[in-house]
Amino acid sequence: MKNATTKKAPAKRRSSEMRAEYDFSKGVRGKYVEQYRRGTNLVLIDPEVTAFFPDAKAVNDALRALVAIAERKGIRKRA
């Protein structure tokens, strides 16, 4: 049996220049900078749960209701 190697060939060195097919001519610089300055919180919701929440407003309304219930029960928030 031959001694086969499983090593991959080294990748070719990539050019630091942009490719011709990348077109940023219609891009807007700093489009989301204010949103990021305020702070962005991304939460991934499981697919079976998303059926009940069609948009961000529905998620926020449900969470606010849950917070109100927790406050009535005397459950303290995390520090």
pLDDT digits (tens, 9 = 90+) for 3-36: 666 777 766 767 778 888 888 889 999 998 888 8
Domain ranges for the chain, please list them: 53-79
Q: What is the pLDDT of residue 70?
A: 92
CA distance 30 to 76: 38
Rounded-to-integer distance, Cα 67 and Cα 58, Å: 14
Give yes or no for a contact between 70 and 63, defined as CB atoms under 8 angstroms apart: no
Cβ-contact 53, 59 below 8 angstroms: yes
Residue 1 has pLDDT above 60, yes or no: no
